[in-house]
Structure 1
């Protein structure tokens, strides 16, 4: 199958339709709450599937996957921060907020990757579903630590008054951490996974029409809305500039390669599982992290991290990144 035909799956085409509709200034709009409903459905569905797999999973293997998910969630923001600072074009607090997005994950990108593997007939391990839930929060914590370190350096250098160095927003570190770990998407994903793990298997089969039969249709609607949103932010690309725009492409490739190495060598996953770990490493959050950064680092410019995560990295991964990561996973499996 050619690289072009890899893009001809309904989910990706609906994303392209939404993007195109926004570019031509169509009056196509989603009802305000529909996007939230679709997000809730997708998180619940993937969580239930992950929980059902977890119920039959090897506990030791699941624990190893969780550990490596934590490693990725802690390491990738540091790499992103270092790259942004090296450009000398990004303020340190902006760099901390942006970096936090690139250590967290995008459920939409992950779901698109599952759809992609399904069209290829590629099987995959279910442990990446657990990793998806785990990786939402660690990057937020790293972003907070980077911002705190930046503020202390600013105070030491005299560019910030000590009185200004208090905790950001209306709460302290405890409040920010609570926001990170009780974020609605995290609660839904983890809670649904627990339900899928402990519920009666026969009772869960009755949910198949809800969690399986309509899943791809709901994903297409979700990506149509995401295409509209990405198209809306496409005009902001000039604001982030070529250097930041380049970061929005280069950073997912770096994260994807690290994810490939972790999935193949550290976790021993198949091509499908390795592809999904690569997607986790490559994606950037646009749901859980932005509100946390808005509260934690109010000095940072939201248009920068929102435009990068949703307007640059998300469409890049959906259209080009996922086929690239899968191809690399195939090559890696053939070499070893």
Structure 2
């Protein structure tokens, strides 16, 4: 009982943090149709600055750390990203009025990582005085890229099989019409031009249905995305150079102020996207509410295994859970637009921005921090 009451107290206290306050403020401003706008160029600059700061701090930490400590958390991050996609493929895709391709794209976006959500979690961890490995931010690409690759591969295989299935139906229809044509005396019917059964046709085409999905272009596009590029640039500079002076004098002091602007923009965007979410099945809203919390709890459990086995900090466990609960808001959408062009952006972007991101930030982060603090207290 003490565990539960302590957890609820910490959870409610974290909901009053400035970071979450700006998110909620942005949602309220948009809901009352305020004309306040943040220019897109400023938004992109803010995101770049935040991810550079996170990357620099991670690179500096990696330089002085034992890389073997990262191995198990990195493996868990990779596994979580892939598992999230398969969960969406075999849950959301099975619900009424949900198109399979749209469900796979949505799962891919929820498996990918939001740099802004991660930045918000780092700020809250610092406010709560919870220690974490600075290199934990480097877990971002280990989850982000496998999730996007898995989603695009699954969608490509599904679309290819559907195409071959349609061709099989058409082939059988033609074959049946030809088989009914009379044969002149003395003539022999030629070898059927089409397979005799739909199953036979699909069996012949199974190999081609699983071919043609090139993995490297997907990885390349993910790496070239603005969010991941900024993070990896910061990691490389922190690892290979000595940026401590500019980091302490410029990036560190601006971090929280810039994050508050980003949260305000994301809150306004969340309310604006609700209109798009109404255009698709209500099941997307249900999925977008439940999935971030479920994904985060899965990652939290894996992180606790790393905590017991390798001494991975509870703050690091929280970061792993947060990036699993987040859904990509910068690099993921354009990657999926290019990789799964048949998917409806209103479904996956609306689900992520209107519901998924607010849930991950306003409920997920306090939940995982509360759990970690309760375990520390125990």
Cα shift readout 1:244-272 (whole Å, capped 9, x = no counterpart): 11100111122111111111113443322
Q: 1:22 aligns with which of 30, 35, 41?
A: 30
2:288 is aligned to 248
Q: Identify if the C-alpha distance between structure 1 residues 210 and 86 changes in structure 2 by more than 3 Å, giving closer, same or farther.
A: same
Retained in 2: the 8 A contact 1:124–1:273? yes
In the TM superposition, what whole-angstrom CA distance separates every residue of 1:116-151 from its partner, at most 9, and x where no partner exists? 222212111223211013322111110111112212
Give the superposition deviation at 1:228.
Answer: 1.4
Alignment of 1:179 with 2:221, yes or no, is yes
Q: 2:325 aligns with which of 279, 282, 286?
A: 282
Equivalent pair of 2:53/2:247 in contact (CA under 8 Å): no
Q: Which residue of 2 aligns with 1:228?
A: 268
Matched length: 329
SS at match of 1:253: helix
Does 1:207 find its partner at 2:207?
A: no
Which of 149, 171, 186 is residue 157 of structure 2 equivalent to?
149
How many Å separate the matches in 2 of 1:269 and 1:334? 17
CA contact (8 A) 1:136 1:288 kept: no
- Look up the match of 1:198: 240
SS in 2 for 1:287: coil
Following the alignment from structure 1 to structure 2, what is the Cα–Cα distance between the partners of residues 20 and 159? 51
Q: Highest CA radius of gyration, 1 or 2?
A: 2
Cα distance in 2 between the residues matched to 1:259 and 1:176:
24
Counterpart in the other structure of 1:307 = 350
Seen in structure 2, the aligned counterparts of structure 1 residues 265 and 298 have a Cα distance that, compared at 3 Å, is same
CA–CA distance in structure 1, aligned partners of residues 321 and 27 of structure 2: 25
Q: Distance in 2 between matches of 1:3 and 1:174?
A: 42
Partner of 1:217: 257
Contact kept? 2:333, 2:349, Cα under 8 Å: yes
Q: Which residue of 1 aligns with 2:305?
A: 265
Identify the residue that residue 119 of structure 1 maps to in structure 2: 127
Describe the shift of the 1:159–1:11 C-alpha distance in structure 2 as closer, same or farther (beyond 3 A).
farther
Cα distance in 1 for partners of 2:157, 2:135 equals 34
Instruction: Give structure 1 stretches of 5+ with no counterpart.
Output: none
Partner-residue secondary structure (3-state), 1:33: helix
Query: 1:38: which partner in 2?
Result: 46
Structure 2: how far apart are the matches of 1:179 and 1:82? 26
Superimposed CA distance per residue, residues 51-103 of structure 1 (whole angstroms, 9 cap, x where no aligned partner): 01111111111233322222122221111211112214311111121111111
Where in structure 2 are there 5+ consecutive unaligned residues? Answer: 1-8, 171-204
Q: Quote the Cα distance in structure 1 between the aligned partners of 2:274 and 2:98.
A: 20
CA RMSD of aligned residues (A): 2.4
